[in-house]
Amino acid sequence: MAAVDFRQFRYFIAVADELHFGRAAERLHIAQSGLSQQILKLERSVGVQLLLRDRRGVQLTEAGRVFLDHARQAVELADRAMTSPLLAERGKTGTLRVGTPILGIPVVAEELLREFGARFPEVEVEIHPRLDPELVEAVSTHSLDVAIVLSPFKSVEPPPRYQQLSTFELLALLPEGHRLAAFGRVPRSELLKEPFLDWPRSINPEMIDHIHRMLFGDAEHPQRVALPILEEARRLEHVANGEGIGIAVLPPGMEPQAPGVVVRHFEEPSPFIGYGVAWSGTQTTPLVDAFMDVAREFVVADPKVIRV
């Protein structure tokens, strides 16, 4: 096999991710014609066709799917090799890239990160806040080593491994004096009669749909899209102003404190969502293994926790 220009690995990964030469070229900031030529050279070097091209777009061949995983590993190892001298200057021996939810790190996950840092001071822990679907994708493509994610999460290939740490309970946020505040636990059927302050579905479609199913079942909520709000502070403000019912996602035993807002549990069975650590299902490293050994010590004793 002829020698391969290492840049071609990055070019191939970009095309495989985008399944489109034009978008891949934009991502790489090179001409599309040049990208096509480099991929053809790569295929000649490895001796097999890696991509199927037709008018509908680009698809990976079986050989291309196998090559993609190895190409990602090669690029990752090269990137780590390039940063290793800088790490050594700071007394570090390696880097662990940790993805975290862009809206905040859950309490148990924060404790896990502190404990790992204390036990492995020679490891540089990089924190990368992203939206949950991006976290799962990044673990699958090896651009992150591990990620703190909510569950259920986006389905990707290859699927990541997952260790749940704990759960959040969904609680109803009501304006003071609201008729539902008289309930000890809010019946789900009553939500159908009220404006609902939702999250933007685009931030995490799988999770938002899952929450809707837990709260509304198969019923269509006529006012569900009343006001999508991302920031927790704004949601509390709108609830206090009587503009609708909100939902808080909190660890058991914790409740938000806000003027003009009361918090109620939902009727049994209480709705919960899980969160935990996702990591690659196809490859691991000693640092990832060490992190997961520590993570398993932080699994909350809870029948809803999923262990792998």
pLDDT of residue 230: 67
> Can you tell me the distance from the alpha carbon of 286 to that of 124, in angstroms, rounded to the nearest whole number?
14
| HEC secondary structure over 283-294 | CCCHHHHHHHHH
pLDDT at 32: 86
Task: Kindly state the tokens that stand for 279.
Answer: 């990591």
Structure tokens at 166: 């704990």
What was the pLDDT predicted at 141? Answer: 83
Beta strand segments in the chain, E: 51-54, 57-60, 94-101, 123-130, 146-151, 161-175, 185-186, 246-250, 261-266, 272-279
228 in helix, strand or coil?
Answer: coil
| pLDDT tens digits, 62-86 | 888 888 877 777 777 776 666 666 6
Residue 37 structural domain: 7-71
Range with lowest mean pLDDT among 13-27, 115-129, 130-144, 210-224: 210-224
What is the average pLDDT value for the chain, to the nearest integer?
82
Question: Residue 233's CB: how many other CB atoms inside 10 A?
Answer: 10
pLDDT grade, residue 137 (50/70/90)?
Answer: confident
Residue 303 lies in a domain: no
pTM: 0.69
Tell me the per-residue pLDDT of 227-251, one tens digit each, with 9 for 90 and over: 677 677 788 888 888 888 888 876 5
* Residues in CB range of 70: below 8 A, 6 or more apart: none
Q: List, for residues 217-227, the tens digit of each pLDDT value.
A: 775 554 454 56
CA distance 238 to 175: 9
For residue 252, give the amino acid letter.
P
CATH, residue 29: 1.10.10.10
223 three-state secondary structure: coil
Q: Is the residue at 305 inside a domain? A: no
The last residue of one of the domains, among 43, 71, 99, is 71
Q: In which band, very low, low, confident or very high, does the pLDDT at 51 lie, cut at 50, 70 and 90? A: confident
188-223: per-residue pLDDT in tens? 888 888 888 888 888 888 888 888 888 887 755 544
pLDDT tens string 110-120? 999 999 989 98
- CATH code, domain with 150: 3.40.190.10
Cis peptide before 256 (omega within 30 of 0): no
Structural domain includes residue 32: yes
Could you tell me which residues are beta bridge partners of residue 263?
173
What is the average pLDDT across 148-166?
A: 89
Residue 119 falls within a domain, yes or no? yes
